Structure 1
Amino acid sequence: MMKKLVVIGAGMASGRMLEHLTGWNVTLFNAEPRGNYNRLMLSPVLSGEKTYEEIITHDADWYAARGIDCRFGEPVVRIDRVNKTVYSNLGGAPYDALVIATGSAPFIIPVPGHQLPGVVTYRDLEDTHAMIAAAKPGSTAVVIGGGLLGLEAAAGMAARGAEVTVIHLMGHLMERQLDPSAGYLLQKDLERRGIRIHCKGATKAILGKDRVEAVLLEDGTVYPADLVCMAVGIRPETRIATDAHLEVERGIVVDAQMRSSDPAIFALGECVQFDKQLFGLVAPLYDQAKVLAAVLNGEEAAFAPVQTATKLKVTGVDLFSAGDFAEGPGREDIVFRDPGRGVYKRLILEGDRLLGAVLYGDTADGSWFFDLIKQGTDITDLRETMIFGPGFGGAKADPLAAVAALPPEAEICGCNGVCKGTIVQAVTGGAHTLDAVRALTKASASCGTCTGLVEKVMAVTLGGAFTANANPPMCKCTDHTHEEVRRLIKAQVLQSIPAVMQELGWKSHGGCASCRPALNYYLLADWPLDYCDDRQSRFVNERNHANIQKDGTYSVVPRMWGGVTTPDELRAIADAADRYNVPMVKVTGGQRIDLLGVKKEDLPAIWSDLNAAGMVSGHAYSKGLRTVKTCVGSAFCRFGTQDSTGLGIKLEKLLWGSWTPAKVKLGVSGCPRNCAEATCKDIGVICVDSGYQISVAGAAGLEVKETELLISVPTEDEAMEVIAAFTQLYRENSRYLHRIYKWVAKVGLDWCKDQMEDLENRRALYDRFMLSQSVYQKDPWAELAQRPEDWAPLKTLALEAAE
């Protein structure tokens, strides 16, 4: 009969232990009502880059396959060491061995108002959902704490539209990981994203009556806040161990086998203390997990802490820190600055050893520096050139040379402690794709920041046989890339999804939630006269012609041509808001009005009412034209050079309803003062005395990028032709879900310019665009409101989950 193991806590550390465990009958308690998920990826969930389902590490099937008795949502309240039984409020569970993996608890500053509703921490999925609910466009949020978690929380809420202020007690951000120079660069980068940073700020009180309203600092500064996130630190969660009279100091004291003061009780993770140290990063926790699993399996193993590195999980911010970078006697540093590129590197040396490294803006050599620190390598011969990385002296011409030079023991994946030799062994053993390497080694399976480095190791090992994951297969249903599928659809005249799947050898009957929307778009773009749109192959928002909200209601946005409206339209919106009990009416950043909180059953009726007032769908849910933002231009403004409002309206009426690979936003500014923010749109027009400057490939979301000049034309008609032709060029050549800036980066702006400057080719593109518009420029609200029988929810392929 197998011995009984009880585990308290279903987090990442205990989850990794269970992966390596054999021969035990396991009962797993967890205070959260769910199992193991990747907490490292809560930041992308907060920012909207990932869903919770995408970060689940162990699902119900995984636990069931291992016979684990899961008691989730059932916190343990007492340990009876004499009778070897743990108790929750629902009963007990006997054990032969017990593992405590209760993690840590966030520290709450005990200032007045800290218990007000709207004050949250950032530790679990519930905290993340609370921030998502509060971080709406126009809302205000204050994050107290400028460390890793605080900045990730701030960036995530800012990405959802909240106005975020970070209050940090120290003189610069992330002072435990960064020196002042790197902290300054990080602050400037975050401020460019619209996040306000207040360093040397001490919180005096959180203000509010029924819920939080503002934060008051000791210097008298007041910041308004609809939500306050405290991210000022964590403490080991040791209450259950203290109550059981185990040895507890700052954490549960354990030996090198993760055994507590009771030989039958073990502990691991953020709740433990080993050799006077606490552990908050995932790499040492995973090392603890492997050691404990080996001990429970009857093997010899011992935990030995190693150096750890830090990376910030904020899209577009490249930051790496490792080792000790404090100043001290006998220490010197090497500093490299390139202000133009926003690159800063600092290495801290003592004698012939590298002690620490701080990299900002260019972190490609982080793993190499980290390995030098961990191994205590003699860097005497590297001293003069090491700041330039391992490829100095010509190897930089070959981007793989630095990776080839790494020794087998060099760590590639810090989260999971995977070294280069382990990846090479997996590749030579037959793992020739990134997914296969992840499955065997877990390299790049956690935060994902090492994915590029893992691919380089694979490329070095496989040579010419390696295909980088930058252009992977379209999905697991096919070996073809997006580009290959597009070419074959045209070459073989494939005009239906079944035809594509049959002729191109699809592995999965019916496809999946990833490939079906892409195929549907490619067929729409290539065969507008022959292919009929497959509504089942669209994402939930496009099927329902409205944006679904977190509570299951919908957002309805009527189109306002060029941001211009009329009193009659405003009355119709007000009447609809009253008639359907719309809880929020919001002016959007795209110069129109959003009706938020509409019930699904009311959608056809509210569409009909808005149609009756002459309004059509704003396609705020579509992969197509969203808005054309305008300024008043020469009609009213004394600086306006052209009629930017009139051109914006004409462009919106020309382009609306067009299906594109991803959403498209335009801006038309009447002069170089750029009041319509045209220089950060997918397509922007700046009106000048001589005509119109058309720029493309801007971005103002998770990534911020200025547009680049495509072409200048003298007349309004030419501007409209160029924009329609360029949109068609994008439609015919881009990968599905790639915004214009990603597509232009791939094909090159010069190629796009050549296509527009070839007048015959440009006119052909324009004609093809207009042909497609003759088929698809229809108002879906009007069609569905008139045919309510078609509104019944259709059977889908789990596209809601993919959305």
Structure 2
Amino acid sequence: MNKKKIVLIGNGMAGVGCIEHISKLAGDAFDITIFGSEPYPNYNRIQLSYVLAGDSSIQDIILNDWNWYKENDITLHAGHRVSRIDVDHRCVYTESGISESYDELIIATGSNPFILPVPGADKEGVIAYRDIKDCNSMIAASKMYKKAVVIGGGLLGLEAARGLLNLSMDVSVVHVCDHLMERQLDPTASKLLQAELESQGMKFLMNKQTEEILGHDRVQALRFTDGTGVEADLVVMAAGIRPNVSLAKESGIAVNRGIVVNDWLKTNIANVYAVGECAEHRGVVYGLVAPLYEQAAVLAKSICGVQTKPYEGSVLSTKLKVSGVDVFSAGEFIDQDDTRSLRYQDDFNGIYKKILVRDNKIMGAVLFGDTSDSSRLFQMIRDGADVSACKTLLAKQTSSCETAGATTVAEMADDDLICGCNGVSKGTIVQAIREQGLDSIDGVKGCTGASRSCGGCKPLVEDLLKRTLGSQFKAAEKDAICSCTRLSRDEVVEAIRSKRLTAVKEVMHVLDWDNKEGCSKCRPALNYYLGMVWPQDHQEERDSRFINERFHANIQNDGTYSVVPRMYGGVTNPEELRRIANVAEKYQARLVKLTGGQRIDLLGIKKEDLPKVWAELDMPSGYAYGKALRTVKTCVGADFCRFGTQNSIQMGIDLEKKFERLQTPHKVKMAVSACPRNCAESGIKDIGVVGVDGGWELYVGGNGGVHLRGGDLFVKVKTSEEVVQWSAAFLQYYRENASYLERTSHWVERVGLDSIKEVLADPAVRQELVERLNESLAVTTDPWKEHIEDEKLRSMFDKITVSATGN
């Protein structure tokens, strides 16, 4: 049987969405070829902002990978732009010389970004924001330049601006109107959004029209029509889009603003269709994903001969999520003479809701701060529901802050939409869960398409899974790092990394901490995680450290402090001992004690004397107070002991000098013993090194404290260099994966020694870990070397009063 030939021009969401439907309905009946101008498989363009913001990678937003085309016998010409359509002979031609005949032609060329026609728009550093190439250009620019200006305060512009902020750029948004997202938000919601984004560091230049882009070869500034201006190293045009209709127009296909189509998505040329942002239906061009998928479904059924209703237009909805700011808009949202509205506003919790009503029917809504009702409201707007339905929704807002917005899927009817982007109802998802045995959001997404586009419906999908599966639903276990947030350690660290957060306050703000000031548990943890992820860019916050770490000494029960200078491997010399004795005598140390870590502890030092004590000692801090390497205990080794097989003293000194000042999730103690007699107690240390004939054994996860634990044999090596490398790799892997205040002993038990061994067995992985550890060490200095002459630090000791039992 000869298959009909379908050619699709455009490898985007609308066109490939149509092909997905065709493949499911009658895939065997068609020979399908797709031309895409970009060298990528089909990806989710509306999630480019997540890539720019660092929340996702390019791979994360791929909708259909290369294998999908092969599995469905679809020929994809990626990176080939169609230059001509011969509608008389039903053939398309590409710039690269490829030609392909067709029986049915679908044009899904999308839209082009609107570039302001102002002088200087062609300068280097002026780009659009439309595809992966633009996204990569912005990321590259952020590494070389600091001042970014986004032209356009709409949905796309704000998402671009937030992404540039996450790339550590100074970002200003230029908007021609007096409020943001004027096509989706009323003035009240817009002002709330602007205030929230300003608090995150975004700057706004409202009521500004660009007159000229200044600079020589590269942009340097913008000048506005009112005579003012702004400096810029990078200009991102996000002032709108225009349907990409040039190919259709040159081929004799009817074009107005877009390619004109009827209710079956047919153009004026036989067997030629248009779908998506390039199509104009009943005088309307749609730029949002939900209408495009609705069009795609109708066109697919029409081509396959499946009976369906014609496409009669769409109710528009918009959802924005920028750094924890939730915004939803659907239908009409500006008050008119013939409309009334229901409003709820809570300035304390940053929540605003308005529902617009005409003739007792819900016509539209705006939600800010709490969009949990968005799916139900969108369904009501589409259905023209009676106003009483939304009165019920708003009534519960006044009951308590705890239950505000607590719409659950249990209250939704089976035909209520869960996923507005893809038109997936509650009933469809429940049926798929039951019949297909789905037990995860990814499973639901793959089977039904729900949460596939903007992802805003994921909480509802998860709630449906819980309610449908009951006790069989096994949510991923996660322990919040403290009561200030519901986020787990892994979620916080991933957000720090993906959103490029660099300060404690920024983390708490962006991740919507319940307690906006944090607590004594989460603030030190966040300070550590930030330093671990961004050793070069972390904004150290000394106030977020524990008191001992702030003063570089251990507070005692009488309010005085214990000072422990570092002695590498427990080795000292007469000069150091004289300085220690002189300081102890001068500052009236109550006790001079040898510690279990082979060092000297000066106890009873007054708080105000600490800077002078450290200055006169002129020795590195021993970090006896820190979540860091404390000591490397050693025996006398082969140079002195008749049983010793290795030089344990030198090995201990090398390890201590290598890892001193390294911040870790909890204190770390090490030891080096020259033989299996273990005189340095290597068997109960976080890392224990034991000399044996011909090499060394490394033990990890030991603990000599309350929860006594013997170390596990980790690896056997031959050289001292290997001891340092394996120790470094283990420490960095611990730093990157353990929870704050989790000792290596607990971490090894939790994750399993075998899994750690498996990761570190790869030499390339070990090397990468060592390099990241070295990067962290490169920015550290001894705290007293760095601060000893700083008068601000001296005054800090004079001003701060801390009780002996505090913090």
Tell me if TM exceeds 0.5.
Answer: yes
2:409 to 403, 415, 419: 403
Equivalent positions of 1:267-282 (< 5 A) are 267-282=274-289
Structure-2 residue corresponding to 1:210: 217
1:35 aligns with 2:36: no
Structure-1 residue corresponding to 2:448: 441
Structure-2 residue corresponding to 1:103: 110
**Residues in 2 aligned to 1:198 and 1:394: alpha-carbon distance in whole angstroms:** 37
Q: Which amino acid aligns with 2:421?
A: C
Report how far residue 728 of structure 1 moved: 11
Equivalent positions of 1:557-636 (< 5 A) are none
Secondary structure of the 1:312 match is strand
**Residues in 1 aligned to 2:187 and 2:623: alpha-carbon distance in whole angstroms:** 48
- Distance change in 2, residues 1:461/1:31 (3 Å): same
- Distance change in 2, residues 1:769/1:296 (3 Å): farther
Report how far residue 330 of structure 1 moved: 2.5
- Distance change in 2, residues 1:770/1:467 (3 Å): closer
Secondary structure of the 2:455 match is coil
Secondary structure of the 1:452 match is helix
1:152 to 149, 159, 174: 159
5+ residue gaps in structure 1?
Answer: 473-481, 487-513, 522-538, 540-546, 548-587, 591-617, 634-640, 655-689, 693-716, 733-761, 785-790
**Residues in 2 aligned to 1:398 and 1:336: alpha-carbon distance in whole angstroms:** 11
Structure-2 residue corresponding to 1:231: 238
Equivalent positions of 1:531-546 (< 5 A) are none
Indicate if the aligned counterparts of 2:564 and 2:622 stay in contact, CA closer than 8 A: no
Q: Which amino acid aligns with 2:332?
A: D
Indicate if the aligned counterparts of 1:75 and 1:88 stay in contact, CA closer than 8 A: yes
Report how far residue 182 of structure 1 moved: 0.8
**Residues in 2 aligned to 1:10 and 1:123: alpha-carbon distance in whole angstroms:** 14
Following superposition, which runs of at least 4 residues in structure 1 exceed 4 angstroms of deviation? 391-401, 469-472, 618-633, 641-648, 650-654, 717-725, 727-732, 762-772, 775-784, 791-797
**Residues in 1 aligned to 2:388 and 2:82: alpha-carbon distance in whole angstroms:** 55
Q: Which amino acid aligns with 1:81?
A: V
Indicate if the aligned counterparts of 1:336 and 1:345 stay in contact, CA closer than 8 A: yes
Structure-1 residue corresponding to 2:344: 336
Report how far residue 782 of structure 1 moved: 12
Indicate if the aligned counterparts of 1:152 and 1:314 stay in contact, CA closer than 8 A: yes
**Residues in 2 aligned to 1:653 and 1:129: alpha-carbon distance in whole angstroms:** 49
Q: Which amino acid aligns with 2:274?
A: A
Secondary structure of the 1:16 match is helix
**Residues in 2 aligned to 1:207 and 1:781: alpha-carbon distance in whole angstroms:** 54
- Distance change in 2, residues 1:450/1:222 (3 Å): same
- Distance change in 2, residues 1:399/1:346 (3 Å): closer
**Residues in 1 aligned to 2:553 and 2:200: alpha-carbon distance in whole angstroms:** 30
Q: Which amino acid aligns with 2:380?
A: L
TM-score (norm 2): 0.62
Secondary structure of the 1:87 match is strand
Larger Rg: 2
Secondary structure of the 1:318 match is strand
Structure-1 residue corresponding to 2:458: 451
1:420 to 426, 433, 436: 426
- Distance change in 2, residues 1:115/1:728 (3 Å): closer
Structure-2 residue corresponding to 1:16: 17
Q: Which amino acid aligns with 1:417?
A: G
1:327 aligns with 2:335: yes
- Distance change in 2, residues 1:470/1:395 (3 Å): farther
**Residues in 2 aligned to 1:132 and 1:238: alpha-carbon distance in whole angstroms:** 30
1:63 to 26, 49, 69: 69
Equivalent positions of 1:757-776 (< 5 A) are none
TM-score (norm 1): 0.62
**Residues in 2 aligned to 1:321 and 1:173: alpha-carbon distance in whole angstroms:** 13
Query: 339-348 or 117-126: which moved more?
Result: 339-348
Measured against aligned partners, the alpha-carbon deviations of 1:345-393 in whole angstroms (never above 9, x if no partner) come to: 122222311222111111111222222211111124754x44245x887
Structure-2 residue corresponding to 1:222: 229
Structure-1 residue corresponding to 2:739: none
- Distance change in 2, residues 1:395/1:412 (3 Å): farther
Indicate if the aligned counterparts of 1:121 and 1:231 stay in contact, CA closer than 8 A: yes
**Residues in 1 aligned to 2:320 and 2:529: alpha-carbon distance in whole angstroms:** 35
- Distance change in 2, residues 1:382/1:290 (3 Å): closer
Q: Which amino acid aligns with 1:194?
A: G
- Distance change in 2, residues 1:185/1:29 (3 Å): same
**Residues in 2 aligned to 1:462 and 1:142: alpha-carbon distance in whole angstroms:** 49
**Residues in 2 aligned to 1:37 and 1:248: alpha-carbon distance in whole angstroms:** 27
Q: Which amino acid aligns with 1:421?
A: G
Measured against aligned partners, the alpha-carbon deviations of 1:616-648 in whole angstroms (never above 9, x if no partner) come to: xx9999559778866999xxxxxxx99968679
Report how far residue 729 of structure 1 moved: 11
Equivalent positions of 1:708-787 (< 5 A) are 721=625
**Residues in 2 aligned to 1:338 and 1:719: alpha-carbon distance in whole angstroms:** 48
Structure-2 residue corresponding to 1:709: none
**Residues in 1 aligned to 2:723 and 2:226: alpha-carbon distance in whole angstroms:** 58
Structure-2 residue corresponding to 1:283: 290
Indicate if the aligned counterparts of 1:258 and 1:292 stay in contact, CA closer than 8 A: yes
Structure-2 residue corresponding to 1:265: 272
Q: Which amino acid aligns with 2:464?
A: V
1:46 aligns with 2:52: yes
Structure-2 residue corresponding to 1:491: none
Q: Which amino acid aligns with 2:76?
A: C
Structure-1 residue corresponding to 2:512: none
**Residues in 2 aligned to 1:71 and 1:652: alpha-carbon distance in whole angstroms:** 68
- Distance change in 2, residues 1:317/1:396 (3 Å): closer
1:253 aligns with 2:260: yes
Report how far residue 25 of structure 1 moved: 0.8
- Distance change in 2, residues 1:115/1:400 (3 Å): closer
**Residues in 2 aligned to 1:363 and 1:261: alpha-carbon distance in whole angstroms:** 41
Question: Once superposed, what is the RMSD of the aligned Cα atoms?
Answer: 4.7
Secondary structure of the 2:353 match is strand
Structure-1 residue corresponding to 2:375: 367
**Residues in 2 aligned to 1:142 and 1:162: alpha-carbon distance in whole angstroms:** 10
Secondary structure of the 1:215 match is strand
Indicate if the aligned counterparts of 2:326 and 2:371 stay in contact, CA closer than 8 A: yes
Measured against aligned partners, the alpha-carbon deviations of 1:25-80 in whole angstroms (never above 9, x if no partner) come to: 11211111222111111011101111101111122111112222211211111111
**Residues in 2 aligned to 1:20 and 1:149: alpha-carbon distance in whole angstroms:** 28
Measured against aligned partners, the alpha-carbon deviations of 1:309-338 in whole angstroms (never above 9, x if no partner) come to: 211142311111111011211212222221
Count matched residues. Answer: 561
Report how far residue 462 of structure 1 moved: 2.9
5+ residue gaps in structure 2?
Answer: 480-486, 505-527, 555-561, 567-605, 609-620, 630-661, 668-702, 714-719, 730-759, 773-807
Report how far residue 217 of structure 1 moved: 1.3
Report how far residue 138 of structure 1 moved: 6.1
Structure-1 residue corresponding to 2:82: 76
Structure-2 residue corresponding to 1:318: 326
Report how far residue 10 of structure 1 moved: 0.4
- Distance change in 2, residues 1:409/1:643 (3 Å): closer
Report how far residue 771 of structure 1 moved: 13
Report how far residue 218 of structure 1 moved: 1.6
Structure-2 residue corresponding to 1:660: none
1:191 to 195, 198, 202: 198
- Distance change in 2, residues 1:411/1:630 (3 Å): closer
Structure-2 residue corresponding to 1:134: 141
- Distance change in 2, residues 1:190/1:783 (3 Å): closer
